[in-house]
Structure formats: C-alpha cells, structure tokens
A and B are shown apart, each in its own frame.
Chain A
Amino acid sequence: MSVLDDLLLFTALASVAIIVLRRFAFISKFSVVVYVLATVLLIKMSALGYGGEAVYSSFTVNVLGQVLQWRFDALSWFFALITLVVALFTALFMSGAWGDKYRKEHSKEAYGLLQVALILNVLSMLVLLASGDLLSLFIGWELVSWASFMMMALNPDKVARKAAIKYIVYAMAGAMAILMAIAMTYNMTGSLDYVQVMQGMAQLNNSQIAVLVSLYAIGFGIKMGVIPFHLWQATAYAETPGAGAVFMGAISARMGLYALILVIVQIIGLTRVAAIEIPYTFLDMQNALAWVGALTTIIPTYIALKQNDARYLLAWHGVGQGGYMLLGVMIADSIGTAGGIMHVFNYATYQAALFMTVTAVIYRTGTSNFSKLGGLVTQMPLTFMVMVVSIIGLAGIPPMNGFVSKWLIYRALLLDGQPLLFVAAVIGTLGTILSVYKLVHNTFLGQLRLEHQDVREAPLSMLIPMLGLAIIIFATGVMPGVVLDWVAAAQIAIGIAPVEHNLGGIELVQGGLNMIWVTGVMFYGFAVGAIIFYFLGGKSKHIHQYDNYAGGHFLTSKVRYHYSNHFYAGLMHLIGGWYRNIFIKLEYALVSLVSFMSQLSENFYRSSQPAMLVAAIVMLALWYIMSADGSAPVLVQGLQGGMSK
C-alpha cells in the first residue's frame, strides 16, 4: 500500500461515509475532518513537491488489453494540493452558519447532498490527477464532469438547471472529443500508457499530431471554458449553491488545464506542436493555442465587466483567468510555464476567497445583484478586507500573489518577443482592474441602503476560511518562492526546465523580480503615507453618508444617491457595440442546425408510406450496385449463370 493508495482509498471511504451520513447534523464537522486528514495524507507525499519520485498506486486493473494504473507526480501533487486545500476551506466555510441557513432554507437532505457533491468532486479530481494512462485519465475526466454536474444541479432554480444542462452537453462534447483522440492515440501508438505513448508520438507525422492536438485541446479546452467554448461556464458556476460555487469556481475548471498540460505539453511535447504550421496563417499550432489563451483572457473578462451580479462577474473572470494559464503554459519556456502553473494556485486562492465574500454578502443581504447592494463596508469590514486583498490578487497588482504569476507570464512574453500576445494579456488585466473595482464598489462602497442598516458582519465560521485564504494570498505574494518550489518540481515532471527562483521571486539577468523587496518598499511607502496622513493633518470627523455634496441638494433616505447602474458608461458607449453575442448566436445556430436536421429525420420516420420508401431505396441501391460494375445486366447474367450451374 503506497500513500497514494491510502489517499484514494481514504477519500473513497469518506465519500461512502458522507453519502450514508449526509442527513446528520455532524456531517459538516465530519467532512472538515475528512479534508484535514486527506490533506495530511497528501502532505505525506510532499517529497513530490520538491522533486521526489512519482508515487504509484498498487492498484491496477487489466481490461481489454489495457492496464489501468494510477500514480501521482509533482504536477498531480500540485493540483491535488490546491484541490484539497480549497475543499478544506470550502468545507470549513459551509460547516457553520452558512450550512445552518442552507439547511433551513432548503432541507437537511439538500445540505447533505451538497456535502456529497463536494466529496465526490474531490474524489473524482483526485482520481483524475492520479491517472497513470490515458484511459484512466478519461475515466477520471468523466467522473469529474459528472460530479461537477451534480454540484450544479443542486440548485433547483430554472436558470441554474438550464446552465447545468448546458454544461453537461458541453462537457459531453468535450469528453467525446477526448475519447476520439484517445482512440486515435491508441491506434497510432499502440498503447495508452503515458510513457509508451510518449515514445510512440515520435513516430507520428505532423498531420497526425495536428489532429490529436486539436481534439485534445478541444476536449480539455471545453472544460477550461476557452474561446469559443466559454459560454457554459460562468452561469453554471455562478448558479451553483454558495459554498459549492467557491469550490467549483476555484478549481473545477482547472482540471482541464491539468489534462492539457499532461497531454499536450508532457506527452505530445510543445516542440511537436510548434512544428505544425496552420495553413493560410502565420501561426503555428502552439501560437494558435497561445492566442486562444489570450482571447480567453480578453473576451470573458470584458463580458465580466458588463455583469450586474457579483457571482456572474466572478465566474466570468474565472473563465478569463483560465486564459492566462493557457497562455503562460503555451509560451513553453520555463518562466511562462511556471507562470501558467503557478497561476492555478494563485487563482484558486483568490477566486475561492472572492466567492466566499460574495456568498457572505448573499448570506447577510440575500442578494448579489449590484443594483441592490452598496455601502456594506461599514457593516462587513472584514469581508470587505478579504475582498480587497483578493481583488488585488485577481487584478494582478503587487503585493498579492496574482501579480507574481502574471509577472512571470508577461516576462516570458517579453523574452519570447510576442508583442501582440503581451498586449492582449495586458488588455485582459486592465479589464480585470476595471471590473474588480466595479465589484468592490457596487457591493461595499457608495451609499448604504436603508434596508441594510442592520446587516452584520459575516459569522465567524465563514470569516475564518476567508481570512485564512487572504493570509495565503498575501503570504504567497510576498514569498512566491514557496509555491515556485512546487511549480519547479511540476515543471521537471512535465519535462520543462525548472524556473530559477528564490524565496522572493525570480533571478534573471535581464531584470528579475524580488517580491520581498517590492513588498518591503511598498509597505515602507504606505508607512510614509500613513505618517503624512495621520501626523501632519488635523483631526477629522466621521460624518453621515447623507452629509454629502449634492450641489446643494438635501439628501435623505428617499433619494438613492449612488452610482452603480451602467458603471462604465463612457467605455460602453464605445465598446458596447462590440458585444454582439457572436458566440451566443453561433451556439444558437448550431442548435438550430441540429433542430433542422432533427425535423428532417422526423419527417422521414413519419412518412406515411414506409414500405414504398423502403422499396425505392432498395431499388436505388441495387441499381447503383449493378451500374457501378459498368454492366447493367449483370444481375440477369448472374442469375442465368447461377441457373446454368
């Protein structure tokens, strides 16, 4: 029994236990204990994070001439760590007041099912991460998809239901693309074992690789929600019930990136991918994928900018941030890949924290609609603080961790000489800054609404995981070396030169990054600012929000003196017309096409003279077969020939 066996077995048993015990009140505490223990088991494998040998499971299955096996390498370990940590925080988050309220509003069963969905998601992700060959990868992949579906389907609302169905259709399409690719891989290389496939890939020609890469990229890309498959994700994650959205938003879609790194970077190898020229463009396939990443940062980010609901805004950013990861990985040098992989960790921390803050706001106010919020900072200061820390991370501004990974990606693009991709990435970041300000402003700043005057801070059980995540966001921002160690190990595992790093960041001849210095100087600056502010000026008086400049107007609670609607009006005057819903129309066209074909087929099945139709078809077929031979009377000849015998 290896530690991996222990981990998988433990999680599986825990899933069973949670399924059985889901209606009991202690299930929330129980699940927290489960995730703690699972994390401990994972930490027992922490040698992986520092360049240790891969851990194999002793459990294998022989089926149809394939050996299914499971193993953990540094990359899986890294992703598994994120998964378990996020799950732990999520479980903590939902264990207390939030869970009680959810139980009250829905039912014990519903809460139990949420716990079940969480553990099943974790289990399926661990199975996916542990996969040791393409077939077990696919099994894990499908398990993850369906576990996610279960989580999404827990929300009984109509919108959520529709989103869940949409998700699963997309996921199925992706899975089918992967299945096609796996079948082709098997036939081309004669095996599905990673090592053998890797060797077999060397024998393939470029067009074969091109087909495989596109199929795998489509399959994994659908899960990540890359352009043009981004439509499903935001609604689905946003509508997942509170704590579920925390988990899903933070890590679920990243499984796509894991598989993509594993298959396209590690097994196929980016040099092979880069060797494929795409006809009629100046791009090779690697560049094309990088562009997909870049577009994925831009388009969803700007869709997020238009959202009027905090959950949707965050979920759309989730899609957009996936683009950075893909972009980083596709730069293919050690810095870029490090940025892409590290961004998974950073993203998971701040996205989880952000979803938690929004859930906390919903918990207290019952809404996440920007038009119905505002000014909550006085009521929920700690939640606000966590949100600020996280949005600084999301926007990629120092000293939070999101900056480091984005810096790596920018740096790699600079070194690689990719001006347009660089600009695209920056456009994405700028859009992010715009929309995170909208998020924090419309929720927490501005005028407090009358009905929210008695809103209280989020309960402690929700605050603890939020603050914990905020600390992680800051700490890994100041000391990115901690995460970069793991990232470097993962890079070795996927066959890329590890990034040269130290505790504070990157050592580079042509300009490195030392976050300890940056943070130090920034805090020195803040200290100077504070001294100037607090010791050089007089006493200030804290005043009521209605004591406000309104051109001489007398403000009362009857007048809503708050700006949240149509927040970036000026910008939208210009770019508003660019939101043409082209992808939605594309999707609709596809559905219409299917519908049209379906109608055609139905007409066939309904035709009232089936027998005549059949006869006609058969006659046609016969005529074809006969005439194909060039001699029409072959039937007659044949019959005569037969008789004469």
Chain B
Amino acid sequence: MDNIVLLVVLPLLAAFLMPVVARSSEVVARTLGLSVLFISIGIILNVWSQSGQIDSQAVSIVIGGFLPPLGINFYVDQISLFFALAVPVMVLLFWPWHRATSIREYSLMMLLTASASGLILSGDLFNIYVFYELLGIASYSLVAIQGRVSAVAASFRYLLMGSVGSVMMLLGIAIIYTQTGTLNLAHLSLLAPEKLNNMLGLASFALILTGMGVKAELFPVNSWVPEVYGSVSSNLAALMAGLLSKLAVIVIVRLLILLFPQPEALQLMGMLGILGVLTGELVAWRSRDFVRMLSFSSIGQLGLIFLAFSIPGEMGMMAGIAIALHHMLVKPALFMLATGWRGAVENLSGVARRSPFVVLLFIVLILSLLGIPPLPGFWAKYLLMVGLSSQDGFIYTLGMIIVPLAMVIEMAYLFKIVMIMYRKDNDEPAVNNSNIVDDSNIVDDSNIKVVQKHSKWGLAIAASVAAMLIAIVLQLQPASDKLLSLANQLSDRNYYISTVFPQIHTVRMQSIK
C-alpha cells in the first residue's frame, strides 16, 4: 500500500535523471520513462489486486512517519486511485512516440506524470499547491516545446494565466491558513464548519476555484484553451483535455466538499459552470477549425461538469463524476481522430468516402458526447438534468435552461461537420486552409500541416473508447452501481475525516452514542 508513494517519486526521479542519463546513453534514458510508467501501472494494479478492500474503502497513507495534521499524507480512495491509475495509463497512451522527440520532452512528460499523480493523491493543501505548480510548469513547457511559433505564443498565454491562477490560489490558501492554522485537508474539514463557514471562506474558495480553474478550463480563466489545444500535437491536447482538466476538477470538488460547506460556494461554481457551457458551446458553433471546435466543446463540457458538481447531494456528485469520466474517455478519442483532420472543417468534405470507418467512429463518439441514449453520455446528462431539477435556486433553474440549449448548439455544430464529411459533390479541399482557419492572431496556421492520415495508434484508441462506451451500455447496471459508490465516497466528509483520523471517528461515534 505504501508503494503508492512511488507513483509520485519514481516519475519525479525519472524526470530529473533522464537528461543526465541521456548524456551517456540515449536509449536508456528513453526507456527509463516508459519503464517508470509501466512500473507505476504495475504498482496500482498490484495494490488493487492485493487489497480487494481498497475497492470500497479509503486509506490514508502517512508519509515520513509524521501523523497528520502535522505530517503530510496521501489519501487513497476509489476515485483518487482511479485517477492515479489513469495518469500513467493515459500518459502511456499519449506518449509522444512517433516523432524524434527530444529527451527534454520525455523528461517533462515524467514531470507531468509525477505532479498529476501527486495532485490527485495529496491530502494536504500545500502539497496540492506544490503539485499544481509543478503540473503547470510541466504543461507550459510541454506546450512551448512543440516548436511551433503558435505553440510558443499559446504557451505564453497559458503561462500568464496559470501564474495569475497560482497566485490567487496561494492567496486563497493563505486565507485558509490564517483562519484555521492548518493545511491538512482532514483537519481543515473538521474545522471548516466553524472557521470557514463565512464570507472569508467563500472568498478563499473563489480564489482557489479560479486558481485551480485555469487547469480545469473554468469559465473566465480558460481563454488559453483553444490556442493551446490548437497548436500542440493531438496527443498532448488529448492528455490535457482528457486528463489534466479532470484532475483539477476532482481536486476542486474535494476541496469544496471538505472545506467549504456554504451553499454560495456551490452557486458560484455553478454560475461559472453555466457561463462556461454557454460561451464554450457558442464559440464552438462559430469555429471553422476542427481542433478549435473540439477545444471549445471541451470548455463547454467542463462547464457542465462544474455545474453538475455544484448540485448539492449525491445526485450532483454522481452526475459530475459521470460526465467527467465520460468526457475523459471521449474527448481524447476525438482529439485522436483530429490528428487526421486538422485545419478547416470545410476540408473534411468527402472524408466519409475515404475513411468510412473513422467517420462512423467519430459519429458514435459525438453521439455519446451529446448524450444520445442509450450511450453512456446520456445517462450522465440525465443525472445532471435530474439533479438540476431537484434544486430550487436560480442557478439551477438557469442551468436547466442553459444546458439543453447548449446541447442543441453542440449538436448543431458537430453534425454540421458530419454532414460535411458525407458531402459528395466536393472531394477537393474547398478553400485554401489559410483562409478558413480563424483569423485569430495567435494561431499561426502556416505551421499547421493538414495531415490526411490518422495514426493507427490514435485510431486504435478511438476505437477502443467507442467499444468501451458500448460495453458500458451493455453493463449499465453494474456501471451505475459503481458510480453510486464512487459518488458516495467522494461526497462523504465524515468518511474522509475518519479515514485520516480514525480516532476522531471513534470519539465522535461515542459522543453521539
């Protein structure tokens, strides 16, 4: 169980060792990263298989022998374990194999892995901040390292925004610390109802929300998204849109549950979520560039996730997790398909005849993304709608109206693409690429090559995602049970506290008796 720590340590080590090792042997350095990833996966699978109970019971791992709240701990429950597994798996899936990648990129990927794992596992606010910063550094650099002018520009924008974000987050953490004098999440959670249940607490939440929100593509701090996704390789975009944004969301939600009991916090998040859905989908509707469209759609979907998590109670939690997991599956797959379809959507004319299977795959994926029953995306959206309608507040009513509208808009633009793909009359690229790509000053389209072939690897990923979606449909009942238990565990504050401080739990129980 304690091996879990290695999930963070090993990649971190690898990240720093790789450039050094590469000086003597490039081959070793290159394999180092991969082997670390495999080891990580092995560790988690091992943990999973060893203790069948981890499946249902959370564990707090104390690091360095100091017990919380003084020491730092890793908190491992179902959802964090799942994400801890998802990190190496997805990094592996989207590993930049296919190019003569520099060792620096590998190194940065390892840094990304380490910080991502740390972020999801940390049971300590300060560690969260540290890993968050690390994650930021890794991702800025990864974006910048893509070599394109546009990527550098996008990276700068990302950096700017990320930095402001981390400052705000730090400010938020500082407020919390001044109020409570601790940074351990469980401890904070104990103190929160009396210490943070005020305006100041709300302010700190707002700060942390906007800070973390940069990664989570939260509404006002997400304008880096289209530029970054549009200029980096699809692999990296898939990784960032699929995994990193969800990590940030889960962390925010965890903090929200544990630290901020006030309903205003939920409403704030919900409102930003609604704005995210609305603006994301609206802009995607206008986009004429495939990847940009996907990026904005991603913003919209993240908005949905925030909105879902802002619904108090189990239903909202279930909806949030469901949408997040679903998006985590579908969006990377879509980005994989985008490798072959970069550039203006008009250029996709007649694609369906050249590669019917890929287009079919695309349709299945977007149908699920839109929430067409019986595909899994529908159940997520159904939970969201039921959750929204079960609440009374203005935000939720607004959400009830905005979410369906956004879905309609999303459907309109996604199926516009499908129709273009099935167009018969015009197999030639309709217009020169440079005329169609949005005339944004940031996207430097001269460097975007219209790759007309998908990588087999990307297709395999997309196909397996589609297969998974269908498998979930066939296994709806177990899947929904699993979702329920995940949601229960994530939303239960007392469970978190009692896992980290078993003694308090018993004390409480006794006092109740």
Contact = CB atoms under 8 A, between A and B. Distances in A.
Given A597-B282, A626-B199, A138 B415 contact: no
A173 B408 contact: yes
B411 A179 contact: no
A639 B379 contact: no
Contacts of A617: 210, 220
B373 A139 contact: yes
Contact of A183 (B385, B422, B477): B385
A611 B179 CA distance: 28
Interface in B202-220: 202-203, 206-207, 210, 220
Interface stretch (B35-43, B386-394, B429-437): B386-394
Interface string B382-405: 110110111000000000100111
A114 to B, nearest CB: 15
A614 B221 contact: yes
Interface stretch (A96-104, A527-535, A600-608): A600-608
A314 to B, nearest CB: 25
Interface in B39-96: none
B134 interface: no
A153 B370 CA distance: 19
Nearest to A629: B199
Contacts of B483: 64
Interface stretch (A40-48, A163-171, A372-380, A454-462): A163-171
A645 to B, nearest CB: 6
Contacts of B163: 611
A161 interface: yes
Contacts, number: 173
Nearest to B201: A638
A174 to B, nearest CB: 9
Contacts of A183: 382, 385-386, 388-389, 400
A48 B13 CA distance: 72
Given A173-B404, A618-B210, A643-B178, A598 B285 contact: yes
B200 interface: yes
Interface string A40-63: 000000000000000000000111
B412 interface: yes
B206 A618 contact: yes
A9 interface: no
A20 interface: no
A519 to B, nearest CB: 47
Contacts of B389: 180, 183-184, 186-187
Contact of A611 (B164, B203, B285, B441): B164
A180 B400 contact: yes
Contact of B282 (A139, A601, A611, A629): A601
A602 B404 contact: no
B367 interface: yes
B416 interface: yes
Contacts of B178: 638-639, 642-643
B168 interface: yes
Contacts of B415: 165, 168-169
Given A635-B203, A639-B178, A63 B423 contact: no
Contacts of B118: none
Contact of B411 (A168, A187, A638, A645): A168
Given A139-B373, A184-B389, A63 B477 contact: yes
Contact of B422 (A153, A600, A618): A153
A607 B223 contact: yes
A177 B282 contact: no
B286 A153 contact: no
Contacts of A182: 382, 385
A625 B440 CA distance: 35
Among B175, B223, B440, residue most surrounded by chain A Cβ atoms (within 10 Å): B223
A180 B404 contact: yes
A426 interface: no
A176 B419 contact: no
Closest 6 CB pairs of A and B: A642-B178, A176-B404, A183-B385, A601-B279, A598-B282, A638-B200
Given A187-B390, A643-B178, 16 more contacts: A62-B477, A135-B382, A143-B373, A176-B405, A182-B382, A183-B389, A598-B283, A605-B222, A614-B161, A615-B164, A618-B206, A625-B203, A638-B175, A638-B198, A639-B178, A642-B175
17 contacts: A135-B382, A138-B373, A165-B412, A176-B405, A177-B404, A180-B400, A186-B389, A601-B280, A601-B283, A602-B283, A605-B296, A613-B220, A614-B210, A626-B203, A638-B200, A639-B175, A643-B178
Interface of B: 157, 160-161, 163-165, 168, 175, 177-179, 181, 198-200, 202-203, 206-207, 210, 220-224, 226, 268, 278-280, 282-283, 285-286, 296, 318, 367, 370, 372-374, 378-379, 381-383, 385-386, 388-390, 400, 403-405, 407-409, 411-412, 415-416, 419, 422-425, 440-441, 476-477, 480, 483-484
Interface of A: 61-65, 135, 138-139, 142-143, 146, 153, 156, 158, 161, 164-165, 168-169, 172-173, 176-177, 179-180, 182-184, 186-187, 594-595, 597-602, 604-608, 610-611, 613-615, 617-618, 621-622, 625-626, 628-629, 634-635, 638-639, 641-643, 645
